Amino acid sequence: MGTKTEIHNGGYIMKKLIFMCGPFSSRSGYGNHARDIYRCLYKMDKYDVKILDVRWGDCPRNALDSPTEFNNSLKSCFIKQTPKGLQLDRQPDIYIDVRIPNEFQQIGKVNIGFTAGVETSAVSAAWLEGCNKMDLVITVSEHSKMGFVGAKYDKMQKTQDGQQQKIGELKLEKPIEVLFEGLDVNEFYPMKSSELKTPISKTIDDIEENFCYLMVGQWCQGNYGEDRKDIPRAIKIFYETFANKTSAPALIVKTSGATFSILDKENCLNKLKHIKEMFPADIKLPNVYFIHGSLTKEEMNEMYNHHKIKAFYLTTHGEGFGRPLLEASFTGLPVITSNWSGHLDFLDAEHALLVSGELTKVPRSVVWKDIIVEDSQWFVSNEQSVSSALNMVYQNYNKVKEKAVDLMKINTEKFNMDKMTEKFDSILEGVSANIPTQVSLNLPKLKKVNKSNPTKIKLPKLKKVTEVSV
């Protein structure tokens, strides 16, 4: 993207400068989100874009290694940060920070904070404080938006006599927009069996069963039932549903850890062993297979389209958006998932199997300082409802598949990359109209993202007063 654009009289004007900070090269959810934001700007081709690529925890930074036109364009926007500061020749007109809110900083004349949002019912005080630094906050779903809008805290201060006194209220003070994570219809689409050619398709070919459920998600840390994706409990319910069946379906779990290591794979296999040990030895359990490690978008699309994979299955405790769920729907794959959180923007009970459940307080083991609030809630699916949905797909597949194909048509029209670009363009047009003509230049040294140890923000002592109800 050039820095100048030609005008009708043959002269040139400077394009507005957008500077972005985020994990653009990382294989992570935030990395995907950051790349999609640039993809929108790439399609618009109306801004001068500069990027500071930062780490995202321990995630590999190899997402841009393939020498595609898009990857090369993105990398050409990268700048470096030296001890003297950022290598920018002017203050950005618009600064976009694609990180968690307590990492947000003010660098541009107008500052936008992009966040993938919150999987639970409410955000932390530190996230509110970070968002209030910015001129605009953009998140990915109505669920995530409500997590910001509904969170309120009392600001408390100790008096001279040792008592706690309210000195104000902390809440979201800045405007917030929803911009969904649009998918490229040329990357996720239905395929014929004859078109499948990547190694992942051959791997699935070797699976014995012809009817398989697919689960996609990182098997996170936490005790049974305390993993955010709820993978171990979902496996247990699958075992219970199809135990002792003469021709039982199989479950394929596509998962990976941050390092994609052999040790991580063995850890997953050990967790599976522990789940099996919950059942008597004489019970015949259906097969569960693992696909572990990183897959390209082409491989993911082929996996969704493989003739042996009949449905997508994920009883998650909560999603900010739920990208794999949208990917699966783009291929016409029936979806079984929780009736709560971000994915309800593009899934409904008419076209997907949304299992019932209830909101419960998050376990103490998953509380994460400045990230997951102790008093927040997440969704716990009803086991009978999950089992009924699994059986519905298995026994009435043609009917379920018809609904999934209808959903595919709806979602590919409403949630594609072009629609995302169109909405983002409209947001930026509104922002551009309010850019100050002159703002003091202040380019601080950006701090590295450390997901395991987020930047600390000093706040008064806070007391939760309102719990969001979604």
Check residue 463 and give its pLDDT. 45
Q: Helices 397-414 and 383-395: crossing angle, nearest 10°?
A: 100
pLDDT bucket at 5, cuts 50 / 70 / 90: low
Using CA atoms, how far apart are residues 175 and 426, in angstroms rounded to an integer? Answer: 15
Q: Please choose, from the candidates 116, 302, 333, the residue with its C-alpha nearest in 3D space to the C-alpha of residue 203.
A: 302
Question: Is pLDDT larger for residue 292 or for residue 181?
Answer: 181
- Greater pLDDT, 302 or 453: 302
The C-alpha torsion from 214 through 219 and 225 to 230, rounded to 10°, is -30
Instruction: Give residue 292's pLDDT.
Output: 85
The residue that leads in pLDDT, 353 or 5, is 353
Q: What is the pLDDT of residue 442?
A: 53
User: Which residues does 326 contact at the CB level (< 8 Å), separation at least 6?
Assistant: 181, 183, 343, 346, 411, 415
pLDDT exceeds 70 at position 7? no
Distance CA 445, CA 148 (A): 27
pLDDT for residue 50: 97
Fold of 193-415: Rossmann fold (3.40.50)
pLDDT at 74 over 70: yes
List the structure tokens of 451: 């997901």
Alpha carbon 372 to its chain's center: 15
Angle between helix axes 231-242 and 262-276 (nearest 10 degrees) is: 50
Q: 3-state secondary structure string, the chain?
A: CCCEEECCCCCEEECCEEEEEECCCCCCHHHHHHHHHHHHHHHHCCCEEEEEECCCCCCCCCCCCCCCHHHHHHHHCECCEECCEECCCCCCCEEEEECCHHHCCCCCCEEEEECCCCCCCCCCHHHHHHHCCCCEEEECCHHHHHHHHCCEEEEEEECCCCCEEEEEEECCCCCEEECCCCECCCCCCCCCHHHCCCHHHHHHHCCCCCCEEEEECCCCCCCCCCCCCCHHHHHHHHHHHHCCCCCCCEEEEEECCCCCCHHHHHHHHHHHHHHHCCCCCCCCCCCEEEEECCCCHHHHHHHHHCCCEEEEEECCCCCCCCHHHHHHHHCCCCEEEECCCHHHHCCCCCCCEEECEEEEECCHHHCECCCECCCCEEEEECHHHHHHHHHHHHHCHHHHHHHHHHHHHHHHHHCEHHHHHHHHHHHHHHHHCCCCCCCCCCCCCCCCCCCCCCCCCCCCEEEEEECCCC
Arithmetic mean of pLDDT, 229-246: 96
59-68, 94-103, 147-156, 438-447, range with greatest mean pLDDT: 94-103
The tens digit of pLDDT for each residue in 106-164 reads: 999 999 999 987 899 999 999 999 999 999 999 999 999 999 999 999 888 888 888 88
Q: How confident is the model at residue 446 (pLDDT cuts 50, 70, 90)?
A: low
Q: Say yes or no to pLDDT of 263 above 50.
A: yes
> Alpha-carbon distance 183 to 326, whole Å?
8
Render pLDDT for 11-64 as a digit per residue (tens, 0 to 9). 567 899 999 999 999 988 889 999 999 999 999 999 999 999 999 887 889 899
Global pTM value? 0.88
> What's the confidence (pLDDT) of residue 84?
79
| 54 Cβ contact partners less than 8 Å away, ≥ 6 residues apart | 21, 22, 23, 99, 446, 448, 449
**Amino acid 459: pLDDT:** 41
Least confident segment among 73-87, 206-220, 254-268, 399-413: 254-268
pLDDT score, position 14: 83
pLDDT at residue 440, rounded to an integer = 47
CB–CB of 423/357 below 8 Å? no
What is the reported pLDDT for 11? 54
Tell me which residue has tokens 């971000």: 342
Report the alpha-carbon distance of residue 119 to residue 298 in Å, rounded.
Answer: 27
Amino acid 455: pLDDT: 43
Q: What is the pLDDT of residue 97?
A: 98
Q: Say what the pLDDT of residue 1 is.
A: 63
* CATH top class, domain 4-181+418-465: alpha beta
| pLDDT, position 356 | 98
Task: Report percent pLDDT > 90 for the chain.
Answer: 70
Most confident of 215-224, 328-337, 451-460: 328-337
Please determine, for residue 456, whether its predicted confidence score (pLDDT) is greater than 50: no
Residue 437's pLDDT is what?
65
Confidence at residue 48, expressed as pLDDT on a 0 to 100 scale: 96
Q: What's residue 406's pLDDT?
A: 98
Has residue 300 got a pLDDT over 70? yes
pLDDT of residue 85: 81
Structural tokens at position 373: 């609030």
pLDDT digits (tens, 9 = 90+) for 339-373: 999 999 999 999 999 999 999 999 998 888 888 89
Closest CA to 317 of 117, 115, 120, 28: 120
Sequence-distant (6+) residues with CB within 8 A of 414 are 346
What is the mean pLDDT of the segment spanning 183-187?
96
- 315 in Cβ contact with 237 (< 8 Å): yes
- Span(s) in the chain for CATH 3.40.50.2000: 193-415
